[in-house]
Amino acid sequence: MDLTNRELRRSALFFDPSFSRLETIIEGLNNGVRHLYNSELCIDWYGTMNEKSECETIYRLAILAFETYIITSATSLCKENENPQQFYNLLPDITLILNLADYITLKTGNYEKIFKKYALDVSNYPIYNGIRILDEDRNLIQITKVLKSWRNQIVYIQYPVDPI
């Protein structure tokens, strides 16, 4: 007995183990940023922290975790003989995350052109500023909500409502 699209959609919407792992990772990274700021407030030489430089290191890990979730989600929801890259352009935030991940892992070398459309500068903390584009308050948890919404869009595309 085959499952209906409605049943497949319900299952895909409510069962996403990759997201729960992503939430755990991002919660830890958010705590790391908070701890960094709290440590700065507790020391005698307050004001010496280079926020962009020190936070960018943590945000790099977040971008790589987001990239893994995006690729895993798109691949797992693809039907046979489909290319998962078709889903990357559904939201500009997904494209930005993937471009930042490519920058971090040095996959492509044309960053100036890619970052120009986001008003990012390779010499001015592109990861930190990219996170600010994704969420003005740099709240990584809010960015995960965008990723969850994006995945739900894919689920609705892949499993349309059955005609009654």
pLDDT digits (tens, 9 = 90+) for 41-98: 555 555 566 778 888 899 999 999 999 999 999 998 888 878 888 899 999 999 999 9
Find the largest Cα–Cα distance for the chain. Answer: 69
Residue 108 scores a pLDDT above 80: no
pLDDT at 40: 61
DSSP 3-state of 74: helix
Q: Where are the domains of the chain?
A: 5-158
Q: Are 154 and 73 in contact (CB under 8 A)?
A: yes
Supply 135's token pair: 């969420």
pLDDT at 12: 79
pLDDT at 135: 95
pLDDT at 45: 55
pLDDT at 46: 56
pLDDT, one tens digit per residue, over 123-156 is 899 999 999 999 999 999 999 999 999 999 999 8
- Residue 159 DSSP one-character state: S
Cα dist. 117→31, 78, 92, 112, 129 in Å? 31, 28, 11, 9, 13
Asked whether the whole model's pTM tops 0.85, one would answer yes
Is pLDDT larger for residue 6 or for residue 142? 142
- Residue-wise burial string across 19-39, b where 16 or more C-beta atoms lie within 10 A, e elsewhere: beebeebbeebbebbeeeeee
